[in-house]
Structures are given as C-alpha cells and as structure tokens.
C-alpha cells in the first residue's frame, strides 16, 4: 500500500530539490502535520493532537525518528510490527520515479522537465496538439496547479473549445477539457495520441484532466487518466505475473505502470479503493500480489497545502487499517510505504524530497533499518517466493 506523498523527512539530497526557489531541506510531511496538530493549528474538520494509533503501533513514529532524528508529537509507541525508512536514488520526487523504484527499477534516465516560463512548451509540440485536437489554439501553456488552471482558463475554454495545457515541477504534460463542451472521449484520444511524442522526450506522463460545471463552479471529475512511459525493464508486477501469480492493481497503479504485469484493475476515490482492498483481503487468490495507491493525501491536501485536510486523511486511513489488520490471514503480508513527500506546511505547491516509511504487518516485530526503495520490491518478491531481477535486497 502506497500512501501517496506521506514522507518522513531526512532525504540526504533534499538540498538539491526546490519549492518556490528554496531547497526542500527540512521538509517532513508527517512530523510537521503532527506538530501543527499539537499546536492546535489543524482544527478544520478535526481537533487536537494527530491520532494515528494503528500506524504508530506498526512503527510510524520510530520510522520518522530513524529518517530524520525527530520524534513526532503523539507518535511514541513501541512497535509491534516491522518498521524502517526508505531512501530513493532516482533523480526525481514524482510519482513514476517513486513507484518504479518501489517496484524494483530505479529510473535509468533523467526525466525531461519543462521550464517555468511562458510559454512552457516548444511550438513544435503545441502544433501537434492543435493538429490532433482540431483546434486553432490551446490555452495556458504554463506551470500551474489544476484548480488554478480551471479558474484562469475554464471560461475561455468553454467559449473556444481549446484544450488547456499545463505542467508542474514534475515531468508531466497535462491537458484539461470539459467533459461536455470538449468531450471526454475526445480528450482521452488527444492524450493517448500525443503521449508517444512526450514519451520520446522522456516526459514521464501525459495526464487527461476532465472537468465539468460552469464558470465559478468548475470541478474535476474522477475520469482522469494517466498515459505513462512503460517501464523499460521487468518490475515487481512482472516478476509476480511471470511466476504465475495473479496481480491486482488498486488505484492509479495501472496507469503508473502502463498495465505492465497487471491482471485486474480496481479504481475509484480513496474510500472506494479501501473498499476494494477490504474485499481483496477475502477474495484475492492465494499467492497473489495486490499493489495499491491512495492518492488523495497528495492530490487533495499536499499540493493544496491543507494541513487539516491531510491530518484528517491520515486519521481516516489509520482507522481503516485498524479494521483491515485483524482480517489478514496467517501467511499474509501487509507493507505500507510512500513514494515521496508533499509537506503541506512547506513553501510552494510541489512535492518535497523525503525518505518514506516502511511499515510491515505479518512478519513479527523489530526494525529493518535504513533501506532502499528497491528493497521493498525485493522483500515482497521474497515473501511471495518469486524470482526478483531488480537491484534491491530483501530486508525480511
């Protein structure tokens, strides 16, 4: 289970990554949320200290201390699970980099990032977008957050029908369009057809960002679709599938890995995904792999720098894990981790370069220490008894 963006600070190279022109040194998603809660500064929709008894019992507080040297307020339990902190080597603090490496494959190239200028994109690329879209122009052509793009360009999009093209600090090309004015199928076709051009540039993802509503009330829908570069080498999902195991992808895992090694896809918002996961605890085939991503920590709260919302999401997740753990079978392993940080107390709106927690139920208690992202894949493969071809080493 990947808690998207739930970092724990301490990345040794954080000074080489930036938000709003300042380095990520000192960013710590879990620590700073816990400190804000303890100070009474995260009171919207919740109140008081951060309450994560289940994750803390698995070792979250100790993992934060191991990663960064700091103990989060209220997270001081003696763990009854296995726990550690993982460090990324890929040169990126984005979703594909983190997930590929967690699946055993550090990114073997440098991603292409678009400059924070206006225009952000080369004219040759935009000419291809216009040709595929069948429009005389495009909108935005800049860096920005999705909600801001809708506020700035949504009304003009409704008048012109021109797609809204934007990017972020990640290696990504995003296209927003109204599901009725432009058409959902037309948007998906545009993204699918332009994706190979972006992938050739080593841009990690093309993302379709459909929305609905009218001016002043534009809302993104759940029909987002990511067109990601296909991993160039086998990853954990391939290892399991090639060994005859069934692989379930919960959330955007299928998009991130371009469906490599995946048999069944289960999608929805985070509450729906948790329902899928609970069902799979009972129904998934013996020896199968379930790989889940819970994205709303990142998409709804991290980028929007919403400390209260992030705290609420963590407490909801903790409660749900508490309900799931007693239902695991004797030979089940549950491993909870993250792909990068997104400290909601930090400057800017981008991800933060951090270590991530590794919390394990089903393999006794005790520390696994400082590990690599790729060690997660090796350890899951070892538990499943399938051959691993990645660079990681099992810590189980």
User: Which of 185, 204, 182 is closest to 255 using CA atoms?
Assistant: 204
* Token reading at 335: 């491993």
Is 339 annotated among the ligand-binding residues? yes
Helix axes 95-102, 373-384, angle to 10 degrees: 40
User: Which of 221, 207, 334 is closest to 268 using CA atoms?
Assistant: 221
Q: Verify cis geometry, omega within 30 degrees of 0, for the bond prior to 119.
A: yes
CA distance 379 to 396: 6
Is 4 annotated among the ligand-binding residues? yes
φ, ψ (nearest 5 deg) of residue 297? -50, -45
* Token reading at 78: 């003696």
Asked if residue 201 lies in contact with residue 120, where contact means CB atoms within 8 angstroms, the answer is no
C-beta neighbour count of 216 within 10 angstroms = 8
User: Which of 395, 341, 307 is closest to 10 using CA atoms?
Assistant: 341
Is 298 annotated among the ligand-binding residues? yes
| One-character DSSP codes across 234-283 | --HHHHHHHTT--EEEESTHHHHTTTTT-SEEE-SSHHHHHHHHHHHHHH
Asked if residue 256 lies in contact with residue 226, where contact means CB atoms within 8 angstroms, the answer is yes
CA distance 152 to 140: 8
* Token reading at 91: 């040169």
Q: How far is CA 24 from the centre of its chain?
A: 18
Name the binding residues for Mn(2+). Answer: 4, 298, 303, 339-340, 351
Name the binding residues. Answer: 4, 298, 303, 339-340, 351
């Amino acid at each position: 289970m990947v808690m998207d963006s739930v970092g724990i600070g301490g990345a040794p190279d954080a000074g080489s990554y930036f938000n709003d022109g300042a380095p990520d040194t000192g960013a710590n998603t879990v620590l700073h949320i816990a400190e804000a809660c303890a100070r009474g500064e995260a009171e919207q929709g919740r109140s008081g200290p951060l309450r994560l008894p289940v994750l803390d019992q698995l070792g979250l507080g100790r993992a934060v201390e191991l990663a960064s040297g700091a103990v989060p307020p209220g997270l001081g339990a003696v763990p009854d699970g296995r726990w550690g902190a993982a460090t990324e080597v890929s040169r990126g603090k984005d979703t594909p980099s983190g997930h590929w490496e967690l699946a055993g494959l550090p990114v073997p190239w440098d991603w292409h990032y678009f400059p924070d200028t206006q225009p952000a994109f080369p004219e040759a690329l935009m000419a291809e977008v216009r040709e595929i879209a069948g429009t005389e122009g495009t909108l935005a052509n800049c860096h920005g957050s999705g909600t801001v793009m809708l506020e700035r360009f949504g009304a003009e999009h409704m008048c012109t029908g021109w797609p809204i093209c934007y990017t972020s600090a990640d290696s990504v090309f995003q296209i927003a369009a109204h599901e009725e004015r432009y058409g959902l199928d037309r948007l998906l076709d545009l993204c699918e057809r332009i994706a190979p051009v972006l992938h050739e540039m080593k841009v990690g993802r093309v993302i379709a960002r459909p929305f609905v509503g009218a001016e002043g009330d534009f809302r993104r829908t759940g029909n987002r679709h990511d067109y990601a570069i296909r991993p160039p080498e086998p990853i954990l999902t391939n290892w399991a599938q090639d060994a005859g195991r069934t692989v379930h992808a919960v959330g955007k895992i299928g998009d991130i890995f371009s469906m490599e090694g995946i048999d069944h896809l289960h999608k929805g918002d985070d509450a729906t995904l948790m329902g899928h996961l609970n069902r799979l605890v009972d129904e998934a085939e013996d020896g199968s792999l379930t790989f889940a991503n819970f994205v709303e920590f990142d998409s709804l709260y991290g980028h929007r720098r919403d400390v209260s919302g992030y705290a609420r999401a963590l407490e909801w997740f903790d409660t749900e894990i508490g309900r799931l753990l007693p239902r695991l079978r004797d030979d089940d392993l549950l491993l909870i981790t993250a792909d990068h940080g997104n400290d909601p107390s930090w400057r800017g709106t981008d991800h933060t370069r951090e270590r991530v927690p590794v919390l394990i139920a089903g393999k006794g208690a005790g520390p696994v220490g400082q590990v690599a992202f790729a060690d997660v894949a090796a350890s899951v493969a070892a538990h499943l008894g399938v051959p691993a071809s990645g660079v990681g080493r099992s810590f189980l």
